[in-house]
Structure 1
Amino acid sequence: MSFDSWGGIIRVVIAAMTAYAFLVTVLRVSGKRTLSKMNAFDLVITIALGSILATIVLSADVALAEGALALVLLAALQFAVAWLAARSARVRRLIKSAPTLLLRDGRLLEQPMREQRVTASEVRQAVRSTGSGAMEDISAVILETDGTFSVIAHNRLGSGSALADLTDHADPDAEPDGSRHAPGPPG
């Protein structure tokens, strides 16, 4: 069936324009965190918002008010969880993974790479993308919570304080209490 009626077409146009405007308004009101770089929780919210928008636009069985309520509820849930995560380490650990150190002082860390399903080739590519041609020039490569790689050269390490929250399975500088010294240039 390629065409049912003009009434259905007009309903889709009105529902799409109204739901789209409403979704943009909800996202603007809910804040920047709703559309930030995605972790698993953010991805689920984004997919759910898209699914609800599509349902509102294409399904005559869902009233615009019901779809709008669903959009508001999802945005409110995302806002509440982000608010709680910013204030509670327990909630933060529950919804977000920790960054993982994959290379330290030019040396690949095989166990964390295996656990994160990252290949040596992917780490080398991340290093090359920074313009560096030598792994030995790199102090750390980190797999971030959003799946991106951060590459820190020895000459850019500074105090290493930005590395404080890393998951580091093979840290020769680890203290017995689990704290760690920042990696430094090879000596």
Structure 2
Amino acid sequence: MLFDDWTGLGRVLVVGPLAYLSLVVILRVSGKRTLTKLNAFDLTVTVALGSTLATTLLSKSVALAEGVLAFALLVFLQFAITWLSVRSSTVGHLVKSEPTLLLHRGRFLDRALRDQRVTRVEVLAALRSQGAVDVASVGAVVLETDGSLSVMTGKTDPSVESGTLRNVVGAPPE
């Protein structure tokens, strides 16, 4: 249970650095976009890469070449989907979600909270983490496409109403 044999340890010592180096090279070649967490799809790919690395390191039934091929395949698929989503609004809508306004001018938008399965307590925690003392002084809280909550203090544009994010800094055009 604590130790099987020296061969397993030796395999990890040899395969570990090689698998890690392969992953780093593949990620460097593929560009910065591969590991961004701009949306849930990106996060899933990042987790899948980590899982593949762990499997390659610890599973005796997975050869290093298979692990490296799996890294390359995941990165290629990530590249293909993001390339397509930039060029096709249909693919973009299938892969990415839109930001959702949860609080506007100190008022919770209960339907948006319910639709996104976010509680007021979670929004209040985000406000506290950003140093907001009074809900009424907050311009907006947005649930971003990556699942994070953005807190905007100060005034928001009057055209931002009922979950519409037109004119909010950084919001995608509709």
Q: TM-score range by the shorter chain?
A: 0.7 to 0.9
Task: Tell me the equivalent position of 2:171.
Answer: none
SS of alignment partner, residue 142 of structure 1 = strand
Larger radius of gyration: 1
* Letter in structure 2 aligned against 1:120: R
* Letter in structure 2 aligned against 1:29: V
Structure 1 consecutive aligned stretches of length 4 or more whose deviation exceeds 3 Å: 1-5, 179-182
Name the CA shift for 1:130/1:58 in 2 (closer, same or farther; >3 Å). closer
Task: Tell me the equivalent position of 1:143.
Answer: 143
Task: Tell me the equivalent position of 1:37.
Answer: 37
Residues of 1 paired with 2:76 and 2:158: CA distance? 36
SS of alignment partner, residue 76 of structure 1 = helix
Deviation larger for 146-155 or 2-11:
2-11
* Letter in structure 1 aligned against 2:60: A
Q: Shift of the alpha carbon at 1:104? A: 1.5
Task: Tell me the equivalent position of 1:121.
Answer: 121
Matches within 5 A, 1:1-187: 1-37=1-37, 39-155=39-155, 157=156, 170=162
Listed as ranges, the gaps of 5+ residues in structure 2 are 169-174
Q: State the TM-score, normalizing by the size of structure 2.
A: 0.82
* Letter in structure 2 aligned against 1:124: L
Residues of 2 paired with 1:2 and 1:152: CA distance? 51
Name the CA shift for 1:71/1:111 in 2 (closer, same or farther; >3 Å). same
Listed as ranges, the gaps of 5+ residues in structure 1 are 183-187
Residues of 1 paired with 2:130 and 2:69: CA distance? 45
Q: State the TM-score, normalizing by the size of structure 1.
A: 0.77
The Cα RMSD (Å) is: 2.6
